[in-house]
Structure 1
Amino acid sequence: MAQRPPSAAVLVLHGGRETGTEPPPPGLLNLPGTRMRPFARAVDRAARATGGNVLVTQVRYGHRGWNGDRAHPFHDAVAALDALREEAGDELPVVLLGHSMGARAALRAAGHPLVRGVVGLAPWCPPGDPVTQLAGRDIVLVHSNRDRMTSPQATQSLTARARRAGARTCMVTVRGGDHAMIRRASAWHRLTTGLVTGLLGSGSLPGPVGEALALPPTAEATEGTLDLDLDLDPGPDPGRFRARTRA
Protein backbone atom coordinates (compact mmCIF):
# COMPACT_ATOMS: atom_id res chain seq x y z
CA MET A 1 0.00 0.00 0.00
CA ALA A 2 1.35 3.42 -0.96
CA GLN A 3 2.15 5.72 1.94
CA ARG A 4 0.12 8.86 2.38
CA PRO A 5 2.06 12.01 1.51
CA PRO A 6 2.95 14.05 4.61
CA SER A 7 0.57 16.79 5.69
CA ALA A 8 3.46 18.74 7.26
CA ALA A 9 7.15 18.29 7.99
CA VAL A 10 9.72 19.08 10.65
CA LEU A 11 13.34 19.24 9.54
CA VAL A 12 15.81 18.81 12.40
CA LEU A 13 19.22 20.48 12.14
CA HIS A 14 21.83 19.52 14.71
CA GLY A 15 24.77 21.57 15.90
CA GLY A 16 28.36 21.55 14.70
CA ARG A 17 31.52 23.58 14.65
CA GLU A 18 32.59 27.01 13.48
CA THR A 19 35.03 25.34 11.06
CA GLY A 20 35.45 21.80 9.78
CA THR A 21 35.28 20.63 6.18
CA GLU A 22 35.31 16.90 6.96
CA PRO A 23 31.94 15.10 7.02
CA PRO A 24 30.27 14.40 10.37
CA PRO A 25 31.06 10.95 11.81
CA PRO A 26 28.44 8.25 11.22
CA GLY A 27 25.63 7.17 13.52
CA LEU A 28 25.98 7.60 17.27
CA LEU A 29 29.52 8.93 16.84
CA ASN A 30 27.92 12.15 15.58
CA LEU A 31 27.29 13.50 19.06
CA PRO A 32 25.47 16.73 17.98
CA GLY A 33 23.14 14.63 15.82
CA THR A 34 22.61 12.13 18.62
CA ARG A 35 21.73 14.97 20.98
CA MET A 36 18.79 15.94 18.77
CA ARG A 37 17.31 12.44 18.54
CA PRO A 38 15.22 12.74 21.74
CA PHE A 39 13.75 16.00 20.42
CA ALA A 40 12.88 14.40 17.08
CA ARG A 41 11.27 11.43 18.84
CA ALA A 42 9.25 13.67 21.17
CA VAL A 43 7.96 15.79 18.28
CA ASP A 44 7.16 12.69 16.24
CA ARG A 45 5.17 11.12 19.12
CA ALA A 46 3.22 14.33 19.69
CA ALA A 47 2.43 14.69 16.00
CA ARG A 48 1.26 11.08 15.74
CA ALA A 49 -0.95 11.54 18.80
CA THR A 50 -2.93 14.20 16.93
CA GLY A 51 -3.52 11.85 14.00
CA GLY A 52 -1.57 13.99 11.58
CA ASN A 53 0.86 12.57 9.03
CA VAL A 54 3.87 14.71 9.93
CA LEU A 55 7.29 13.83 8.56
CA VAL A 56 10.08 14.38 11.14
CA THR A 57 13.57 13.94 9.74
CA GLN A 58 17.13 15.14 10.30
CA VAL A 59 18.99 17.14 7.67
CA ARG A 60 22.22 15.45 6.60
CA TYR A 61 25.31 17.66 6.53
CA GLY A 62 28.21 17.28 4.14
CA HIS A 63 30.60 19.08 6.50
CA ARG A 64 30.99 19.40 10.26
CA GLY A 65 31.47 23.18 10.28
CA TRP A 66 29.83 26.40 9.16
CA ASN A 67 33.04 27.43 7.40
CA GLY A 68 32.64 31.16 7.03
CA ASP A 69 31.02 32.47 3.88
CA ARG A 70 30.59 28.93 2.59
CA ALA A 71 27.86 28.40 5.20
CA HIS A 72 27.71 24.70 4.42
CA PRO A 73 24.82 23.73 6.78
CA PHE A 74 22.64 26.48 5.33
CA HIS A 75 23.05 25.05 1.84
CA ASP A 76 22.39 21.54 3.15
CA ALA A 77 19.13 22.79 4.70
CA VAL A 78 18.04 24.46 1.44
CA ALA A 79 18.84 21.29 -0.50
CA ALA A 80 16.70 19.24 1.92
CA LEU A 81 13.84 21.72 1.56
CA ASP A 82 14.10 21.66 -2.24
CA ALA A 83 13.97 17.86 -2.23
CA LEU A 84 10.94 17.93 0.05
CA ARG A 85 9.22 20.46 -2.20
CA GLU A 86 9.83 18.30 -5.26
CA GLU A 87 8.42 15.26 -3.48
CA ALA A 88 5.47 16.75 -1.60
CA GLY A 89 4.59 19.93 -3.48
CA ASP A 90 4.54 23.65 -2.85
CA GLU A 91 1.89 23.70 -0.10
CA LEU A 92 3.62 21.50 2.49
CA PRO A 93 4.08 23.49 5.73
CA VAL A 94 7.53 23.00 7.28
CA VAL A 95 8.94 23.96 10.67
CA LEU A 96 12.71 23.97 11.05
CA LEU A 97 14.02 22.78 14.43
CA GLY A 98 17.69 23.59 14.95
CA HIS A 99 20.25 23.56 17.74
CA SER A 100 23.27 25.89 17.93
CA MET A 101 24.87 25.92 14.44
CA GLY A 102 21.78 24.10 13.18
CA ALA A 103 19.60 26.92 14.48
CA ARG A 104 21.74 29.40 12.58
CA ALA A 105 21.27 27.32 9.43
CA ALA A 106 17.52 27.13 10.08
CA LEU A 107 17.27 30.90 10.43
CA ARG A 108 19.22 31.46 7.22
CA ALA A 109 17.08 28.91 5.33
CA ALA A 110 13.77 30.23 6.65
CA GLY A 111 13.14 32.25 3.51
CA HIS A 112 12.43 29.04 1.60
CA PRO A 113 8.80 28.96 0.35
CA LEU A 114 7.90 25.86 2.39
CA VAL A 115 9.03 27.24 5.76
CA ARG A 116 6.34 28.49 8.12
CA GLY A 117 8.42 28.82 11.25
CA VAL A 118 11.65 28.13 13.11
CA VAL A 119 12.29 26.82 16.60
CA GLY A 120 15.92 27.52 17.48
CA LEU A 121 17.53 25.97 20.56
CA ALA A 122 20.61 27.68 22.01
CA PRO A 123 21.03 29.35 18.62
CA TRP A 124 24.24 30.78 17.24
CA CYS A 125 23.23 34.30 16.18
CA PRO A 126 26.21 36.42 15.06
CA PRO A 127 25.30 40.12 15.01
CA GLY A 128 25.81 40.51 11.26
CA ASP A 129 23.57 37.64 10.15
CA PRO A 130 20.69 38.67 7.84
CA VAL A 131 17.08 38.75 9.02
CA THR A 132 15.11 39.91 5.97
CA GLN A 133 14.48 36.27 4.98
CA LEU A 134 12.50 35.82 8.22
CA ALA A 135 9.70 38.20 7.19
CA GLY A 136 6.30 36.55 7.52
CA ARG A 137 7.66 33.61 9.53
CA ASP A 138 7.11 32.60 13.16
CA ILE A 139 10.44 32.49 14.98
CA VAL A 140 10.77 31.15 18.53
CA LEU A 141 14.26 30.97 20.01
CA VAL A 142 15.01 29.21 23.29
CA HIS A 143 18.20 29.94 25.21
CA SER A 144 19.67 29.19 28.62
CA ASN A 145 20.75 32.21 30.63
CA ARG A 146 23.90 30.23 31.55
CA ASP A 147 24.94 29.30 28.02
CA ARG A 148 28.71 29.78 27.58
CA MET A 149 28.92 28.57 23.98
CA THR A 150 26.42 30.87 22.27
CA SER A 151 25.11 34.20 23.47
CA PRO A 152 21.57 34.63 24.85
CA GLN A 153 22.02 38.38 24.46
CA ALA A 154 22.71 37.94 20.75
CA THR A 155 19.59 35.78 20.49
CA GLN A 156 17.48 38.46 22.12
CA SER A 157 18.91 41.05 19.75
CA LEU A 158 18.11 38.92 16.73
CA THR A 159 14.48 38.52 17.79
CA ALA A 160 14.13 42.31 17.85
CA ARG A 161 15.91 42.79 14.51
CA ALA A 162 13.81 40.06 12.89
CA ARG A 163 10.58 41.57 14.25
CA ARG A 164 11.47 44.91 12.71
CA ALA A 165 12.08 43.06 9.42
CA GLY A 166 8.55 41.63 9.44
CA ALA A 167 8.92 38.36 11.35
CA ARG A 168 6.80 37.28 14.32
CA THR A 169 9.32 36.52 17.04
CA CYS A 170 9.65 35.35 20.63
CA MET A 171 12.49 34.29 22.91
CA VAL A 172 12.11 31.92 25.87
CA THR A 173 14.78 31.87 28.57
CA VAL A 174 15.50 28.58 30.36
CA ARG A 175 17.09 29.47 33.66
CA GLY A 176 19.77 27.09 34.87
CA GLY A 177 20.03 25.24 31.57
CA ASP A 178 23.14 24.69 29.47
CA HIS A 179 24.17 24.75 25.83
CA ALA A 180 23.90 20.98 25.41
CA MET A 181 20.36 21.06 26.88
CA ILE A 182 21.26 18.29 29.33
CA ARG A 183 20.45 20.29 32.44
CA ARG A 184 16.66 20.53 32.68
CA ALA A 185 16.42 18.19 29.68
CA SER A 186 12.76 17.31 30.28
CA ALA A 187 11.80 20.99 30.26
CA TRP A 188 13.68 21.54 26.98
CA HIS A 189 11.94 18.53 25.43
CA ARG A 190 8.43 19.49 26.58
CA LEU A 191 8.77 23.12 25.58
CA THR A 192 10.25 22.29 22.18
CA THR A 193 7.51 19.77 21.44
CA GLY A 194 4.81 22.27 22.36
CA LEU A 195 6.39 25.00 20.24
CA VAL A 196 6.88 22.85 17.13
CA THR A 197 3.40 21.34 17.21
CA GLY A 198 1.93 24.76 17.94
CA LEU A 199 3.66 26.36 14.95
CA LEU A 200 2.50 23.49 12.75
CA GLY A 201 -1.08 24.02 13.91
CA SER A 202 -1.41 20.49 15.31
CA GLY A 203 -1.31 21.85 18.86
CA SER A 204 -1.88 25.10 20.73
CA LEU A 205 0.93 27.52 21.40
CA PRO A 206 1.23 28.71 25.00
CA GLY A 207 -0.74 31.94 25.36
CA PRO A 208 2.26 34.14 26.26
CA VAL A 209 4.17 32.86 23.23
CA GLY A 210 1.27 33.71 20.95
CA GLU A 211 1.06 37.17 22.51
CA ALA A 212 4.79 37.73 21.99
CA LEU A 213 4.53 36.66 18.35
CA ALA A 214 1.77 39.24 17.88
CA LEU A 215 3.86 42.17 19.14
CA PRO A 216 4.27 45.12 16.75
CA PRO A 217 7.54 45.61 14.86
CA THR A 218 8.48 48.50 17.18
CA ALA A 219 8.39 46.40 20.36
CA GLU A 220 11.53 46.30 22.46
CA ALA A 221 13.57 43.10 22.63
CA THR A 222 12.62 42.58 26.27
CA GLU A 223 8.89 42.67 25.44
CA GLY A 224 9.23 39.56 23.31
CA THR A 225 11.32 37.68 25.88
CA LEU A 226 9.63 35.16 28.17
CA ASP A 227 10.97 33.30 31.19
CA LEU A 228 10.12 29.62 31.23
CA ASP A 229 9.78 29.57 35.01
CA LEU A 230 7.88 32.85 35.40
CA ASP A 231 5.71 33.01 32.30
CA LEU A 232 5.03 29.42 31.26
CA ASP A 233 3.69 26.57 33.35
CA PRO A 234 3.82 22.90 32.32
CA GLY A 235 0.30 21.59 31.98
CA PRO A 236 -0.77 18.06 32.90
CA ASP A 237 -0.16 16.90 29.33
CA PRO A 238 3.56 16.83 28.36
CA GLY A 239 4.26 19.27 25.56
CA ARG A 240 1.48 21.63 26.65
CA PHE A 241 2.26 24.82 28.52
CA ARG A 242 -0.05 27.46 29.86
CA ALA A 243 0.44 30.95 31.21
CA ARG A 244 1.85 31.14 34.72
CA THR A 245 0.45 33.77 37.03
CA ARG A 246 3.20 35.82 38.59
CA ALA A 247 3.05 36.35 42.32
Structure 2
Amino acid sequence: MAQQAVPERCARLGRAMGCGGPGAADRTVHGVVLLLPGAAREGMGRPSPLALAAARPLARRLARAGRAHGLVAHVVHYRYRGWNEPAAHPVTDALRAADEVVRRYGDVPVCLAGPGLGGRAALRAAGHPAVNSALALAPRLPDPSAGDDPDPVKQLVGRRVLVVHGTQDVRADPELSFRYAQRAKKVNPDVCRFEVHADGHGLRQYRSEVLALATDFVLGALFGRAVSRPLADAVAAPPPLGLRMPLAAFKKFLLSRRGQLIPR
Protein backbone atom coordinates (compact mmCIF):
# COMPACT_ATOMS: atom_id res chain seq x y z
CA MET A 1 0.00 0.00 0.00
CA ALA A 2 1.37 3.40 -0.98
CA GLN A 3 2.21 5.64 1.93
CA GLN A 4 0.01 8.73 2.08
CA ALA A 5 1.93 12.01 1.99
CA VAL A 6 1.57 14.22 5.04
CA PRO A 7 0.30 17.66 3.95
CA GLU A 8 2.64 20.54 4.68
CA ARG A 9 1.45 22.93 7.36
CA CYS A 10 0.63 26.46 6.27
CA ALA A 11 0.68 29.70 8.21
CA ARG A 12 -2.71 31.39 8.23
CA LEU A 13 -4.49 34.52 9.33
CA GLY A 14 -6.81 34.33 12.30
CA ARG A 15 -10.27 35.83 12.05
CA ALA A 16 -10.52 39.47 11.01
CA MET A 17 -11.10 41.97 13.79
CA GLY A 18 -12.19 45.51 12.99
CA CYS A 19 -13.73 47.12 9.95
CA GLY A 20 -13.41 43.97 7.86
CA GLY A 21 -14.67 41.63 10.54
CA PRO A 22 -17.90 39.63 10.59
CA GLY A 23 -20.97 41.83 10.78
CA ALA A 24 -19.04 45.06 10.14
CA ALA A 25 -21.11 47.68 8.34
CA ASP A 26 -18.08 49.15 6.58
CA ARG A 27 -15.88 46.40 5.15
CA THR A 28 -13.48 48.75 3.31
CA VAL A 29 -10.00 48.02 4.62
CA HIS A 30 -7.37 50.78 4.50
CA GLY A 31 -4.73 49.28 6.78
CA VAL A 32 -3.85 45.96 8.40
CA VAL A 33 -1.97 45.03 11.55
CA LEU A 34 -0.64 41.49 11.85
CA LEU A 35 -0.11 40.30 15.42
CA LEU A 36 2.77 37.83 15.61
CA PRO A 37 2.51 35.72 18.79
CA GLY A 38 5.45 34.83 20.96
CA ALA A 39 7.17 31.51 20.30
CA ALA A 40 9.47 29.00 21.94
CA ARG A 41 13.11 28.90 20.89
CA GLU A 42 12.74 25.32 19.65
CA GLY A 43 9.78 23.12 18.77
CA MET A 44 8.26 21.57 15.66
CA GLY A 45 4.91 20.91 17.30
CA ARG A 46 1.83 23.02 16.82
CA PRO A 47 1.87 26.57 18.24
CA SER A 48 0.84 27.14 21.83
CA PRO A 49 -2.81 28.19 22.24
CA LEU A 50 -1.65 30.37 25.14
CA ALA A 51 0.64 32.37 22.83
CA LEU A 52 -2.25 32.94 20.43
CA ALA A 53 -4.54 33.98 23.28
CA ALA A 54 -1.93 36.42 24.60
CA ALA A 55 -1.79 38.21 21.23
CA ARG A 56 -5.54 38.79 20.98
CA PRO A 57 -6.01 41.65 23.51
CA LEU A 58 -3.72 43.97 21.54
CA ALA A 59 -5.38 42.89 18.29
CA ARG A 60 -8.81 43.71 19.70
CA ARG A 61 -7.60 47.03 21.14
CA LEU A 62 -6.12 48.10 17.80
CA ALA A 63 -9.16 46.93 15.83
CA ARG A 64 -11.49 48.88 18.09
CA ALA A 65 -9.42 52.07 18.01
CA GLY A 66 -8.82 51.91 14.26
CA ARG A 67 -12.28 50.89 13.06
CA ALA A 68 -13.16 54.40 11.88
CA HIS A 69 -9.92 54.54 9.87
CA GLY A 70 -10.54 51.22 8.12
CA LEU A 71 -8.21 49.07 10.21
CA VAL A 72 -8.42 45.30 10.38
CA ALA A 73 -6.29 43.15 12.69
CA HIS A 74 -5.35 39.50 12.36
CA VAL A 75 -3.44 37.21 14.70
CA VAL A 76 -1.05 35.07 12.63
CA HIS A 77 -1.20 31.32 13.25
CA TYR A 78 2.30 29.91 12.84
CA ARG A 79 3.12 26.50 11.41
CA TYR A 80 5.32 25.51 14.33
CA ARG A 81 5.73 26.21 18.02
CA GLY A 82 9.37 27.32 17.86
CA TRP A 83 11.71 29.80 16.24
CA ASN A 84 14.01 26.94 15.28
CA GLU A 85 17.25 28.69 14.41
CA PRO A 86 18.47 28.95 11.67
CA ALA A 87 15.05 28.38 10.04
CA ALA A 88 13.41 31.30 11.88
CA HIS A 89 9.98 29.87 11.06
CA PRO A 90 7.96 32.82 12.48
CA VAL A 91 9.74 35.16 10.05
CA THR A 92 8.76 33.04 7.05
CA ASP A 93 5.21 32.80 8.40
CA ALA A 94 5.02 36.59 8.86
CA LEU A 95 6.15 37.13 5.26
CA ARG A 96 3.56 34.67 3.99
CA ALA A 97 0.89 36.34 6.11
CA ALA A 98 1.79 39.70 4.54
CA ASP A 99 1.48 38.08 1.10
CA GLU A 100 -2.00 36.88 2.08
CA VAL A 101 -2.95 40.41 3.19
CA VAL A 102 -2.00 41.74 -0.25
CA ARG A 103 -4.01 38.98 -1.94
CA ARG A 104 -7.02 39.57 0.28
CA TYR A 105 -7.08 43.35 0.70
CA GLY A 106 -4.92 44.76 -2.07
CA ASP A 107 -2.43 47.59 -1.76
CA VAL A 108 -2.87 48.61 1.89
CA PRO A 109 -0.14 49.41 4.46
CA VAL A 110 0.70 46.68 6.95
CA CYS A 111 2.11 46.92 10.47
CA LEU A 112 3.78 43.88 12.01
CA ALA A 113 3.55 43.68 15.81
CA GLY A 114 4.46 41.10 18.38
CA PRO A 115 5.94 40.25 21.80
CA GLY A 116 9.09 38.28 22.54
CA LEU A 117 10.17 36.23 19.53
CA GLY A 118 7.07 37.57 17.77
CA GLY A 119 8.62 41.03 18.14
CA ARG A 120 11.88 39.72 16.71
CA ALA A 121 9.93 38.26 13.77
CA ALA A 122 8.17 41.61 13.23
CA LEU A 123 11.54 43.37 12.94
CA ARG A 124 13.06 40.69 10.70
CA ALA A 125 10.06 40.53 8.32
CA ALA A 126 9.63 44.33 8.06
CA GLY A 127 11.32 44.34 4.66
CA HIS A 128 8.18 42.95 2.99
CA PRO A 129 7.01 45.50 0.37
CA ALA A 130 3.57 45.86 1.97
CA VAL A 131 4.94 46.56 5.47
CA ASN A 132 5.43 50.17 6.52
CA SER A 133 5.94 49.73 10.27
CA ALA A 134 6.98 47.32 13.00
CA LEU A 135 6.19 47.19 16.71
CA ALA A 136 8.31 44.97 18.96
CA LEU A 137 7.26 44.46 22.59
CA ALA A 138 10.06 43.05 24.76
CA PRO A 139 11.71 41.41 21.75
CA ARG A 140 13.97 38.42 22.38
CA LEU A 141 17.04 39.26 20.33
CA PRO A 142 20.35 37.45 19.79
CA ASP A 143 23.38 38.31 21.91
CA PRO A 144 26.48 38.92 19.74
CA SER A 145 28.66 38.95 22.86
CA ALA A 146 27.63 35.33 23.42
CA GLY A 147 28.57 34.36 19.88
CA ASP A 148 25.14 34.86 18.26
CA ASP A 149 24.92 36.43 14.83
CA PRO A 150 23.30 39.88 15.12
CA ASP A 151 19.96 40.37 13.42
CA PRO A 152 20.02 42.61 10.34
CA VAL A 153 18.61 46.15 10.35
CA LYS A 154 18.71 47.16 6.67
CA GLN A 155 15.19 45.78 6.14
CA LEU A 156 13.92 48.55 8.45
CA VAL A 157 14.87 51.36 6.07
CA GLY A 158 11.75 53.36 5.19
CA ARG A 159 9.70 51.78 8.01
CA ARG A 160 8.48 53.27 11.26
CA VAL A 161 9.77 51.26 14.19
CA LEU A 162 8.82 51.23 17.87
CA VAL A 163 10.45 49.01 20.48
CA VAL A 164 9.04 48.83 24.03
CA HIS A 165 10.96 46.99 26.75
CA GLY A 166 10.76 46.57 30.51
CA THR A 167 13.95 47.38 32.38
CA GLN A 168 13.52 44.37 34.71
CA ASP A 169 12.99 41.82 31.93
CA VAL A 170 14.90 38.66 32.85
CA ARG A 171 13.76 36.61 29.83
CA ALA A 172 14.72 39.03 27.07
CA ASP A 173 17.66 41.30 27.90
CA PRO A 174 16.51 44.93 27.43
CA GLU A 175 20.09 46.01 26.74
CA LEU A 176 20.07 43.86 23.59
CA SER A 177 17.02 45.68 22.23
CA PHE A 178 18.73 48.99 23.01
CA ARG A 179 21.84 47.99 21.07
CA TYR A 180 19.67 46.74 18.21
CA ALA A 181 17.77 50.05 18.16
CA GLN A 182 21.10 51.90 18.10
CA ARG A 183 22.14 50.02 14.97
CA ALA A 184 18.73 50.49 13.38
CA LYS A 185 18.73 54.24 14.10
CA LYS A 186 21.93 54.61 12.05
CA VAL A 187 20.13 53.46 8.89
CA ASN A 188 16.63 54.70 9.68
CA PRO A 189 15.74 57.89 11.60
CA ASP A 190 12.16 56.68 12.19
CA VAL A 191 13.20 54.34 15.03
CA CYS A 192 12.38 54.90 18.69
CA ARG A 193 12.36 52.85 21.86
CA PHE A 194 10.51 53.26 25.16
CA GLU A 195 11.65 51.82 28.48
CA VAL A 196 9.13 50.64 31.05
CA HIS A 197 10.95 51.08 34.32
CA ALA A 198 10.63 48.29 36.90
CA ASP A 199 8.47 46.15 34.58
CA GLY A 200 9.23 42.61 33.43
CA HIS A 201 8.90 40.58 30.25
CA GLY A 202 5.10 40.61 30.09
CA LEU A 203 4.85 44.40 30.55
CA ARG A 204 1.92 43.76 32.88
CA GLN A 205 2.54 46.45 35.48
CA TYR A 206 1.77 49.27 33.04
CA ARG A 207 -0.30 47.27 30.58
CA SER A 208 -2.89 49.97 29.81
CA GLU A 209 -0.21 52.58 29.08
CA VAL A 210 1.73 50.16 26.85
CA LEU A 211 -1.44 49.31 24.90
CA ALA A 212 -2.22 53.02 24.50
CA LEU A 213 1.31 53.72 23.24
CA ALA A 214 1.10 50.81 20.80
CA THR A 215 -2.25 52.06 19.51
CA ASP A 216 -0.93 55.61 19.10
CA PHE A 217 2.03 54.29 17.11
CA VAL A 218 0.06 51.92 14.86
CA LEU A 219 -2.64 54.44 13.93
CA GLY A 220 0.00 57.05 13.19
CA ALA A 221 2.09 54.68 11.09
CA LEU A 222 -0.75 53.20 9.06
CA PHE A 223 -2.96 56.24 8.54
CA GLY A 224 -0.70 59.29 8.93
CA ARG A 225 -2.55 60.22 12.11
CA ALA A 226 -0.79 62.74 14.35
CA VAL A 227 0.93 60.90 17.19
CA SER A 228 1.37 61.98 20.78
CA ARG A 229 4.09 64.46 21.73
CA PRO A 230 6.18 61.87 23.63
CA LEU A 231 6.20 59.51 20.65
CA ALA A 232 7.09 62.31 18.24
CA ASP A 233 9.83 63.50 20.62
CA ALA A 234 11.27 59.98 20.88
CA VAL A 235 11.56 59.72 17.09
CA ALA A 236 13.12 63.16 16.79
CA ALA A 237 15.57 62.88 19.70
CA PRO A 238 19.13 61.80 18.93
CA PRO A 239 20.47 58.60 20.49
CA PRO A 240 20.47 57.60 23.21
CA LEU A 241 17.61 59.88 24.35
CA GLY A 242 15.07 58.66 21.80
CA LEU A 243 16.02 55.05 22.45
CA ARG A 244 15.65 55.25 26.24
CA MET A 245 12.46 57.29 26.39
CA PRO A 246 10.69 56.50 29.68
CA LEU A 247 7.11 55.30 29.41
CA ALA A 248 6.41 57.70 32.28
CA ALA A 249 6.57 60.56 29.76
CA PHE A 250 3.76 59.00 27.77
CA LYS A 251 1.79 58.21 30.93
CA LYS A 252 2.05 61.87 31.98
CA PHE A 253 0.77 62.91 28.56
CA LEU A 254 -2.19 60.53 28.86
CA LEU A 255 -3.08 61.95 32.24
CA SER A 256 -2.92 65.48 30.87
CA ARG A 257 -5.43 64.47 28.23
CA ARG A 258 -7.55 62.60 30.79
CA GLY A 259 -7.58 59.44 28.68
CA GLN A 260 -8.96 61.18 25.59
CA LEU A 261 -6.02 60.38 23.34
CA ILE A 262 -6.87 56.75 22.75
CA PRO A 263 -10.44 55.39 23.02
CA ARG A 264 -10.65 52.44 25.44
Give the TM bin, normalised by the shorter chain: 0.7 to 0.9
Give yes or no for the alignment of 1:103 onto 2:124.
no
Q: How does 1:52-201 map to 2 (within 5 A)?
A: 52-89=69-106, 91-126=107-142, 127=144, 128-166=150-188, 168-201=190-223
Question: Is the Cα contact below 8 Å between 2:52 and 2:77 reproduced in 1?
Answer: no
SS at match of 1:59: strand
Greater shift, 102-111 or 80-89, is seen at: 80-89
1 CA distance for matches of 2:96 and 2:157?
21
Question: Is the Cα contact below 8 Å between 1:159 and 1:221 reproduced in 2?
Answer: no
Report the AA paired with residue 106 of structure 1. Answer: A
Question: Is the Cα contact below 8 Å between 2:119 and 2:140 reproduced in 1?
Answer: yes
Q: CA deviation at 1:87?
A: 2.1
Question: Is the Cα contact below 8 Å between 2:114 and 2:136 reproduced in 1?
Answer: yes
Question: Which of residues 225, 246, 250 in structure 2 aligns to 1:227?
Answer: 246
Share of identical aligned residues, percent?
A: 33
Q: CA deviation at 1:3?
A: 6.7
Question: CA deviation digits over 1:169-201, x for unaligned, max 9?
Answer: 100011122212322222222222222222223
Which residue number corresponds to residue 244 of structure 1?
Answer: none
Question: CA deviation digits over 1:142-193, x for unaligned, max 9?
Answer: 0001111101111111111011123511000111222123222222222222
Question: Is the Cα contact below 8 Å between 1:110 and 1:133 reproduced in 2?
Answer: yes
Question: Is the Cα contact below 8 Å between 1:139 and 1:167 reproduced in 2?
Answer: no
Q: How does 1:195-214 map to 2 (within 5 A)?
A: 195-201=217-223, 203-214=225-236
Q: How many residues align?
A: 231
Question: Which of residues 14, 26, 42 in structure 1 aligns to 2:61?
Answer: 42
Which residue number corresponds to residue 7 of structure 1?
Answer: 30
Cα 1:208–1:3, aligned 2, differ >3 Å: closer, same or farther? Answer: closer
SS at match of 1:92: coil
Question: Is the Cα contact below 8 Å between 1:12 and 1:98 reproduced in 2?
Answer: yes
SS at match of 2:33: strand
Cα 1:181–1:198, aligned 2, differ >3 Å: closer, same or farther? Answer: same
Cα 1:45–1:202, aligned 2, differ >3 Å: closer, same or farther? Answer: farther
Which residue number corresponds to residue 45 of structure 2?
Answer: 22
Greater shift, 123-132 or 205-214, is seen at: 205-214
Which residue number corresponds to residue 147 of structure 2?
Answer: none
Question: CA deviation digits over 1:74-97, x for unaligned, max 9?
Answer: 0000000011112222x3111111
SS at match of 1:68: coil
Cα 1:42–1:67, aligned 2, differ >3 Å: closer, same or farther? Answer: same
SS at match of 2:136: strand
Report the AA paired with residue 40 of structure 2. Answer: R
Larger radius of gyration: 2
Structure 1-normalised TM-score?
0.86
SS at match of 2:127: coil
Question: Is the Cα contact below 8 Å between 1:74 and 1:109 reproduced in 2?
Answer: yes
Question: Is the Cα contact below 8 Å between 2:113 and 2:122 reproduced in 1?
Answer: yes
